[in-house]
């Protein structure tokens, strides 16, 4: 039985019923052991949650004014489409990689979040837009003379994770993980089943069943 009719329903279902630990468990069980981004990539607010498609962005350090300020940043932003998640890495994190106007641009283009392996700035102005941003933290230093975008919709690596254009990105207060697009539907179907099973196990434990007995009966803990 199909659990969603289109992409929008799929991502809504992920945000409503799933959480990163259960999806990570399924990925482990399928042999994908390195799908979580580094743990210092955090949401600006603990209630932020995102689910969508990776639009990977590669950045590098620069030193001083450039012939093309920011590199291909504006081009990368302008080609975002519905359900994209801007996912950037590169350089030595000497400045902010995200801010108020980037948030407004991406949000207006119906992208559904940003994940940067670096700093953000304009924190109050980003938060007031009520749109999920994950980063290493806040730092106001400007990027124009310190970094630029050199490519987008390209393969990138963050920590132990390789990310391809169109892979699924799922993030909440417990972290951000990447679901390879080729196995995404299978992962989500198994994760939804496991999440429902965990509710049954919790109810049994709260009803007095021991953890050992619950694991023996349900195979979930």
What Rg do the C-alpha atoms of the chain give, in angstroms?
Answer: 19
pTM of the predicted model, to two decimals?
0.93
Instruction: Identify any residues that bridge with 54 across adjacent strands, giving them in sequence order.
Output: 85
* Residue 205 scores a pLDDT above 80: no
- Reported confidence tier of residue 1, pLDDT bands at 50, 70, 90: low
Alpha-carbon distance of 116 to 88, in angstroms, equals: 5
- The verdict on whether residue 101 carries a ligand-binding annotation is yes
Q: Which two tokens stand for residue 27?
A: 């990925």
Angle of helix 211-218 relative to helix 184-206, nearest 10 degrees, comes to: 140
Residue-wise pLDDT tens digits, 191-201: 999 998 777 77
Residue-wise pLDDT tens digits, 6-62: 999 999 999 999 999 999 999 999 999 999 999 999 999 999 999 999 999 999 999
Taking residues 183-188, report their average pLDDT: 98
Q: Are 214 and 201 in contact (CB under 8 A)?
A: yes
Query: What is the CATH class of 7-181?
Result: alpha beta
- The verdict on whether residue 73 carries a ligand-binding annotation is no
- The verdict on whether residue 100 carries a ligand-binding annotation is yes
Domain boundaries defined on the chain: 7-181, 188-218
Residue-wise pLDDT tens digits, 65-77: 999 999 999 999 9
Alpha-carbon distance of 166 to 85, in angstroms, equals: 9
The pLDDT value recorded for residue 190 is: 97
- The verdict on whether residue 99 carries a ligand-binding annotation is yes
Q: No. of H helices and E strands in the chain? A: 7, 13
- Nearest Cα to Cα of residue 157 among 72, 87, 79, 68: 87
Q: Are 21 and 99 in contact (CB under 8 A)?
A: no
- The verdict on whether residue 75 carries a ligand-binding annotation is no
- Reported confidence tier of residue 221, pLDDT bands at 50, 70, 90: low
- The verdict on whether residue 18 carries a ligand-binding annotation is no
Alpha-carbon distance of 63 to 86, in angstroms, equals: 24
């Amino acid at each position: 039985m199909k659990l969603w009719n289109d992409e929008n329903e799929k991502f809504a279902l992920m945000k409503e019923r799933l959480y990163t630990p259960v999806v990570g468990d399924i990925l482990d069980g399928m042999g994908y052991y390195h799908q979580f981004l580094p743990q210092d990539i955090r949401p600006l607010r603990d209630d932020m949650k995102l689910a969508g498609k990776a639009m990977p962005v590669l950045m590098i350090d620069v030193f001083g004014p450039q012939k093309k300020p920011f590199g291909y940043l504006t081009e990368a932003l302008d080609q975002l489409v519905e359900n994209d998640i801007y996912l950037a890495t590169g350089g030595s994190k000497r400045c902010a990689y995200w801010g108020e106007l980037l948030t407004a641009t991406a949000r207006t283009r119906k992208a559904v979040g940003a994940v940067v392996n670096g700093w953000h700035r304009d924190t109050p102005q980003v938060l007031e837009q009520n749109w999920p941003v994950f980063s290493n933290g806040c730092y106001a230093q400007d990027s124009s003379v310190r970094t630029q975008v050199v490519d987008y919709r390209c393969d990138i690596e963050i920590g132990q994770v390789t990310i391809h254009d169109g892979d699924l990105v799922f993030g909440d207060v417990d972290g951000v993980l990447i679901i390879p697009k080729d196995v995404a539907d299978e992962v989500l179907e198994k994760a939804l089943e496991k999440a429902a099973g965990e509710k049954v196990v919790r109810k049994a434990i709260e009803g007095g069943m021991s953890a050992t007995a619950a694991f023996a009966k349900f195979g979930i803990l």
